[in-house]
Amino acid sequence: MMIQISFYLTLALYGVATLLYLGCLLPKAPCLAAIARKVLIAGFLAHCLSTIHRYIAAGHLPITNMHESLSFFALSIVAAYLYFEFRFRVTTLGSFVIPLALLVMIGSSRFSSGLYPLNPALQSVWIYSHTVLAFGAYAFFTIAGGVAGMYLIQSHFLKKKQLGTLFQKLPSLDTLDEIGYRCLSFGFPMLTLGIITGAIWAAQAWGSYWSWDPKETWSLITWFVYAALLHGRLTTGWRGRRAAWLTVAGFLIMLFTFIGVNLWMPGLHSYN
């Protein structure tokens, strides 16, 4: 019961925060940003509470079904967003990322929230490192995707000389580039380590490091996309609009790896 209450409280607070963050994009909205941030932090705390409740009730990290993992994904996105909001003071990023977190939470609420015991085969300390790393990577890639979208919009405005309200509100290209690059340089090692720890865990649980399970295959595809992006950045300084498009593409592929594979491609990673 408590779990339900804190979950729906989180949902409601994220809903309000989303409206406030979107309101920040309106022409005359000077002080919405501060309120939006407070509501989001409240939502984040409620979310943490809900997750801890669930952790205690289930006896393991609540990421074993669609309901739980989507909720945990949203939690990771909000945590990563809050870091960037405080680090770079970019409220407009919230207008792009927080609605995504809300959508993920709504998605989560559509799935059964029943508590299930963990498959004994998966009970291992690796569950923490593998999943937390994977979710961290997902969260950073989500922010990178949002930032890349903003970069594309902002550079479109600059190229076409459409310098309206949204242009004024969006951060500079360099700031967006910096946040995007930072997201990748956090997310990519996390994804890499996530895949490695996953392989070790798989060897323990299923007896094989790599079995070309759809999740594994798609993670590898995701990994290659981000590896290409980072490689380009480190060698030739690759950035700009084309890099932003690839970052958006990487985000969509990552989303498919995370959600699509589970929904449509049965395999070892399918829940329940």
Partner 1 sequence: MNIIVVGLSHKTASVDIREKVAFSPNSIEQPLKALLALEGIVEGVIVSTCNRVEIYATTRDIAGGIGRIRRFLADWHHLPFDLIEPHLYSYHGEAAIRHVFRVASSLDSMVVGEPQILGQIKTSYGYAAEYGTSGIILNRFLHKAFSVAKRVRTETRIASSAVSVSFAAVELARKIFDSLSDKTVLLIGAGEMCELAARHFLTNGAKGVLVTNRTFEKAQRLADEFAGQAIPFEELFDHLHKADIILTSTGAPHFIVTPKDLKAVIQRRRMKPMFMIDIAVPRDIDPAVNDLDAVYLYDMDDLQQVVAVNLEGRKQEAEKAEAIVAEEIIQFNKWIATLEVTPTIVALRTHLDELRQAEVARTLAGWKEAPPDAEKRLELLTTALINKILHQPTMALKKTGQGNRTDLYLDALRALFDLELGSTDRDDSLELEE
Which residue's CB is nearer to partner 1, number 235 or number 272? 235
Q: Specify the amino acid at residue 196.
A: I
Interface with partner 1 includes 271 (CB under 8 A)?
A: no
| 95 is a site residue for partner 1 (CB under 8 A) | no
Q: Rule CB under 8 A: choose which of 26, 242, 252, 266 binds partner 1.
A: 242
By CB under 8 A, residue 28 contacts partner 1: no
Using CB under 8 A, which residues numbered 39 to 78 contact partner 1? none
Does 167 engage in binding with partner 1 (CB under 8 A)? yes
**57 or 234, CB closer to partner 1?**
234
C-alpha 43 chain-centroid distance: 16
Specify the residue, 155 or 204, whose C-beta has the smaller distance to partner 1: 155
Q: Does 266 bind partner 1 (CB under 8 A)?
A: no
Stretch near partner 1 under the rule CB under 8 A, chosen from 33-41, 79-87, 237-245, 262-270: 237-245
CA-to-CA distance for 131 and 64, rounded, in angstroms?
Answer: 10
Q: How many residues bind partner 1 (CB under 8 A)?
A: 21
Counting every residue, how long is the chain? 272
CA distance 250 to 81: 18
Q: Give the separation between CA 231 and CA 254, rounded to whole angstroms.
A: 18
When asked if residue 161 is in the footprint of partner 1 (CB under 8 A), the reply is yes
240 binds partner 1 (CB under 8 A): yes
For residues 225 and 218, what is the distance between their CA atoms, to the nearest angstrom? 11
- Cite the DSSP H helix spans in the chain: 2-23, 32-58, 66-88, 91-110, 126-160, 165-169, 173-206, 214-236, 241-255, 261-264
Q: What token pair was written down for 170?
A: 């969006």
Q: Which residues bind partner 1 (CB under 8 A)?
A: 154-155, 158-159, 161, 163, 167, 170-175, 178, 236-242
